[in-house]
Amino acid sequence: MRSPRPARLLLAALAAACLVSCTGGGPPPRVPMPSNVPAAPEFPDSGTVVEALEKGGIPCLVTLHSTLDGGSSTTCTTTLDGTTFQYEVDVFDPRQFGRDDIGNAIAAGRTAYHQTYVAAGNWRINVVPPAYAPRIAQVLGGVVLPGGEPSIPDYPLPGFPSAPRYDSVEQLAAALDASVGCADRKAGPGSLACRTGDRVGRGPNCATMRLYGGDAERDHALRSAISHPGVPAYLAAGANWSVNLCDYGLADRVAHDLGGVVVSYDGG
């Protein structure tokens, strides 16, 4: 999956460096790791965390993986109890980042971006939406550090065509399958998730489809999907439907083939 910005682990490293080198007013006050965050377990890399979660019943469809000087990061999409959500695992090299370096990075995400984390040892996991954070914490032995719910801005949306209207999410999935592929379908309440990309020679990735009862419901759902700072989103949407795509490069084709338009947010 294309990433429109550097991995957050690298941003954390840059922020830590800035605390030492930035001048003009001095660095902002550091926020230490909360005292209730346990010092263990530690993991050698983000892939090992993902393996532990999979053994605990939380699977991972990898949508992004980065190995950097200072640690590694893996972004996953999964479906549990019919709900699809995303989690991003960052593991920090303790030889370069101390406990309070990680705590400071977590505090920045919680304050500036309302992100909810699970944390312990030398790692943090951002869960979007945060409803499954307690389950991840239970599997790994970490604690949940809530960031609060961001308000949903009244983002301007493009004009949507009045047709086609899909009668069922299965019919929408069939149209997506004819366009870019839609395999390994998993149903949830009012939604359907599947793997995309096979029909156009791209690596397998994820998509979540939804239908709506009216324009207001659709517009609220779309604004909610693009309201998470730091989390890019690319959707194809139309009269009564949307397809949230993990592979951003498919958005234009899916919108064209299914009779909709692209709704995007760069995460800024």
Bridge-based pairing of strands 123-128 and 83-92 is antiparallel
Other CB atoms within 10 Å distance of the CB of residue 37: 20
State the helix-helix crossing angle for 251-258 and 169-179, rounded to 10 degrees.
Answer: 120
Q: Dig out the tokens for 177 from the structure.
A: 């399958």
Task: Give me the residues paired with residue 86 across strands.
Answer: 77, 128
Say if CB 211 and CB 172 are below 8 A apart.
yes
Segment 226-250, tens digit of pLDDT: 876 667 788 999 999 999 998 989 9
Quickly name the fold that domain 169-265 has.
Phosphorylase Kinase; domain 1 (3.30.200)
Please, what's the b/e burial string for 119-133 (b: 16 or more CB within 10 A of its CB; e: otherwise)?
bbbbbbbbbbebebb
Q: What φ, ψ does residue 241 adopt, rounded to 5°?
A: -150, 165
Distance CA 185, CA 170 (A): 9
Q: Hey, where are the domains in the chain? A: 8-145, 169-265
pLDDT of residue 154: 77
pLDDT for 156-203, tens place per residue? 899 999 999 999 999 999 999 999 999 988 876 567 889 999 889 887
- Residue 267: its pLDDT value, please? 65
- What is the reported pLDDT for 149? 60
Written as one letter, the residue type at 239 is A
Q: Is the pLDDT of residue 70 over 80?
A: yes
Copy the structure tokens of residue 249.
């490069």
Cα dihedral value 102, 105, 109, 110, nearest 10: 60
Name the β-bridge partners of 145. Answer: 117
- Give yes or no for residue 73 having a pLDDT over 50: yes
Model confidence pLDDT, tens digit, residues 74-91: 999 888 877 778 899 999
Taken in order 41, 149, 155, 210, the sign of the CA dihedral is positive
pLDDT, average across residues 138-156: 83
